[in-house]
Amino acid sequence: MKVGFIGLGGIGKHMAINIAKADFDLTVTDLREPPLKELETHGAHISDNPREVAESADIILSSLPSNEASIEVALGSDGVLDGTQKGDIYIELSTISPEVVHSIASEAENKGVSVLDAPVSGGLKKRQEGLLTVMVGGDTKSVTRAMPVFEAFGNNIFHVGESGSGATIKLINNLLCGINYVSTMEALVLGAKSGLDIETLRAVISQSSGNSYAFEEVINNLSTRSPEPPQGEIATQGLHTIGKDVILANEMAQNMSVPLSVGSSALQPLLAGLANGWAHKEYWIILKLLEQLSGVEVMPRELRHSED
């Protein structure tokens, strides 16, 4: 089976590496040279554009940062559909609007190409170890055919429904995640303002009803990692990503006339961080906004460098 992969960002690069390690004949492309060189060391072939990737593969995957990027890569000049043939499968791993998935799937159908929307969830360790959760929308026959590729980077693979279902459930998941991130940081600021240190908060809450995966992730990150990515590297959990996902979830709810009183409130500090130019910093940079509003510091001083 020949596989193509487009988009070697913070998540896509690790998925592509695991596909290569699973001995698939892999061709990749990206706008940046460093991840291409890294994939080449794992045996991947390098192409100049999505069309060439599609021409070389039976199953093509893309992991991209936005609705606009997904539309351009799939439908634009030298895009995926320019290079596909009847019977190919195109897998959209990006977290995008269901409407975009439907648009791409409709165009692909005219060429006899199946489209699956299969966004993923999991932190850096799970990305590296190939243990991501995969939420797949699309027809059963295509899901079954693509399963060996999914199993190269995921261990919890859910076929959640028809086309667009994967994108929908991923936005709902990331809405909950964003709400939990923001509420955790607000709670930590409240605790610090009350005179409690971060380790006391960690010890007690981790063993109490306030604990959650998001709580543990946030407190571990802000205790050990600067929100500023190392020189020459990109954020592994960038504010632009969770901000975009919560925006899309709120838009989806608005389109269906579903009120999101908590979800819309959680969006506000994310928007403030994006407006402050922090899109490419790690998401817990927004703790700085909450600290400033409350006149207290939670993040260790040694991790607060180069944040502006």
Burial label for 248, CB within 10 Å (0-12, 13-18, 19+), is: buried
Report which secondary-structure segment, H or E, holds 274.
helix 261-275
DSSP 139: -
Q: Partners of 91 in the beta sheet?
A: 61, 116
221: Cβ contacts below 8 Å, ≥ 6 apart? 237, 282, 284
Structure tokens at 281: 């910093």
21 carries an active-site annotation: no
Q: What is the 3-state secondary structure (H, E, C) of 194-223?
A: CCCCHHHHHHHHCCCCCCCHHHHHHHHHHH
Distances (CA, A) of 306 to 135, 229, 287: 37, 10, 15
Catalytic residue among 13, 170, 281, 288: 170
Catalytic residues: 170
